Amino acid sequence: MIRESKTLPRRLLRLKDYDYAQVGAYFVTICSANREFLFGEIIQGEMILNQAGRIVQEEWLKTTALRAYVKLDQFVVMPNHFHGILIISRDDEGTARCAPTERQFGKMAPDSLSSTIRGFKAGVSKSINLFRNTLGAPVWQRGFYEHVIRNDASLNRIQEYILTNPLRWELDRENPRRCGEDEFDHWLGQLKTRPNQPL
């Protein structure tokens, strides 16, 4: 079992000078605490959600109602992680933003990718811990992984990966019993996917 050190320093691990509050599409991966199989199981290539997994799904679908600047694309809840594509979209694109960016003050900007994921993780954690009667127990690992989707070819490849992720579970790098390498991981690794700041 992988244990996280509580003494690790918190660091920002982002693309230098990139404004994560700007309009764009992002592929995110969030792992459960200690990569515990918390959200369900894969049976014959299909993800069967348990109650915790249904909470993750419901909270993700609430994202657009809670955050008007976000649109959702493909997503999947896996036994110990979550993949999703979200698009930060603004009606006022092209106008100057009044909110400070994360880079300007070193803090999380409102309406940014980080603030969106932080809200999602907090909502899921609260609901799952209420369900389990485990107030304050960690549900997620610190931080998340993000990839800025820069073109339609990348978007299409990532959408296909998300849709087929349960079928490819035996190759998934988050599966402790995986039996091979997934070519998608190699492809994405070449595109400079980076872990984001701890949340």
pLDDT tens digits for 64-95? 999 999 999 999 999 999 999 999 987 654 44
pLDDT of residue 91: 62
Q: What is the mean pLDDT of residues 44-71?
A: 96
Q: Torsion angle, CA of 131/132/134/135, rounded to 10 degrees?
A: 0
CATH among 3.30.450.20, 3.40.50.300, 1.20.1330.10, 3.30.70.1290 for 24-90+104-195: 3.30.70.1290
Q: Torsion angle, CA of 152/156/158/163, rounded to 10 degrees?
A: 150
Pairwise CA distance, residues 30 & 64, whole Å:
18
Block residue for tokens 């918190």: 10
* CA atoms within a 13 Å half-sphere pointing along the CA-CB vector of 49: 12
Q: What is the mean pLDDT of residues 90-114?
A: 58
pLDDT of residue 18: 45
pLDDT band at 160 (very low <50, low <70, confident <90, very high): very high
pLDDT of residue 78: 98
Domain locations in the chain as residue ranges: 24-90+104-195
pTM of the model: 0.79
